Amino acid sequence: MYARVLRVANSPYYGQTRSITTVDRALLVLGLDAVRGIAAATCFDRTLSRGKQATVIDMQAVVHHSLATAAAAERLAQIQHRSLAAEAFIAGLLHNLGVAVQLQVDARGVEAMLEARAANPTLEIRRLESDFAAIGHERCVGILFEEWRLPAALVAVGLHHHAPEEAPAEHRDLTCLVNLAATLALASGNTFLLEPLPVARNPVALAQLKFDDAVLDAIEAELPERVRELKLALLGA
């Protein structure tokens, strides 16, 4: 992990002109929250890789969607709500961890969802879960985060990232950031079987954060390169 943190800290993604050779230096230059985000991301692929070989969903695609969401959420926060940038990265990274949990606890339900998805790729994921799953992926990750005693803000994002207007008021900005970031991730081609197509931008999230489509269009245009740099730094690919 030490080596991977330094590799990411020195990558084009963070744009440092001076070499960072120690974690202490990374903490000084990038800040504690940013290094926490890097550490979380270095573990994320390993965590999901345990189930890559034997699931009906390509978990590598879920990892790529999550990395794209993290990068987009961080960028959105840097433009508006800068104090949330590091937290937005981690929340975006972890928001879809419930998909892996859902596969473990309700594999048949996920298979039924995929069959319905194949027949109609435009079905909204919450509708699929309501019709076919014993438990939704948002609820899965909410329970997991509560068990891990993660901050309430991350729990809120996990539970409400598809409907940020349902999040508690004190965590709604962060949840809206992740919601819009996930939309940008899908639009940039970082999809997976349960969310195979781009979706409309949530007007409630846009209004909450005071963004317009021009801002999101600009981030969408730069996102493929940011994700490429992040994947290269974290995964070597």
User: Cα-flanking dihedrals φ and ψ of residue 192, to 5°?
Assistant: -145, 175
Averaged pLDDT for residues 169-176: 97
Q: Which of 170, 202, 194, 183 minimizes the C-alpha distance to 87?
A: 170
Instruction: Answer whether residue 97 is part of any domain.
Output: yes
Whether the pLDDT of residue 52 is over 60: the answer is no
Kindly state whether residue 152 falls inside one of the protein's structural domains: yes
- Count of domains for the chain: 1
Question: Given pLDDT bands bounded at 50, 70 and 90, which one contains residue 45?
Answer: low
Q: Which domain holds residue 176?
A: 52-235
**CA angle 61–62–67, rounded 5-degree value:** 95
What integer pLDDT is reported at residue 31 of this predicted model?
78
Give me the torsion for CA of 63, 65, 70, 73, rounded to 10°: -170
For residues 180 and 219, the answer to whether their CB atoms sit within 8 Å is no
**Phi, psi for residue 114 in degrees, rounded to 5:** -65, -35
Check whether 29 has a pLDDT greater than 90: no
CATH of the domain at 200: 1.10.3210.10
Residue 203: pLDDT band with limits 50, 70, 90: very high
Residue 137 included in any domain: yes
List, for residues 84-93, the tens digit of each pLDDT value.
998 999 899 9
Q: What number of CA atoms fall less than 13 Å from residue 234's CA on the CB side?
A: 27
Residue 18 lies in a domain: no
Question: Is the separation of the CB atoms in 89 and 35 below 8 Å?
Answer: no
Q: What is the DSSP letter of 211?
A: -
What's the pLDDT score for residue 207?
96
Contact 106, 135 (CB under 8 A): yes
With respect to residue 124, please indicate whether it lies within any of the assigned structural domains.
yes
- Looking at the chain, the whole-number percentage of residues with pLDDT higher than 90 is 64
Residue 7: the pLDDT is 77
Is residue 53's pLDDT more than 60? no
Res. 10 pLDDT band, cuts 50 70 90: confident
Contact between 145 and 154 (Cβ < 8 Å): yes
Query: Under a CB-based contact definition with an 8 Å cutoff, are residues 219 and 75 in contact?
Result: yes
Residue 237's pLDDT band (cuts 50, 70, 90): low
Phi, psi of 27, deg, nearest 5: -60, -40
Residues contacting 86, CB < 8 A, separation 6+: 31, 33, 34, 36, 37, 74
Cα 11 to Cα 157: distance, rounded to the nearest angstrom:
28
In this structure, is residue 123 part of a structural domain?
Answer: yes
CA terminus-to-terminus distance, the chain: 17
pLDDT confidence of residue 54: 59
Q: Which residues pair with 195 in a beta bridge?
A: 192
Which pLDDT belongs to residue 39?
A: 74
Comparing C-alpha atoms, which of 126, 68, 71 is closest to residue 98?
126
pLDDT at 211 (0 to 100): 96
Residue 3 lies in a domain: no
The average pLDDT across 217-230 equals 93
Q: CB count, 10 Å around CB of 220?
A: 18
The answer to whether residue 98 sits within a structural domain is yes
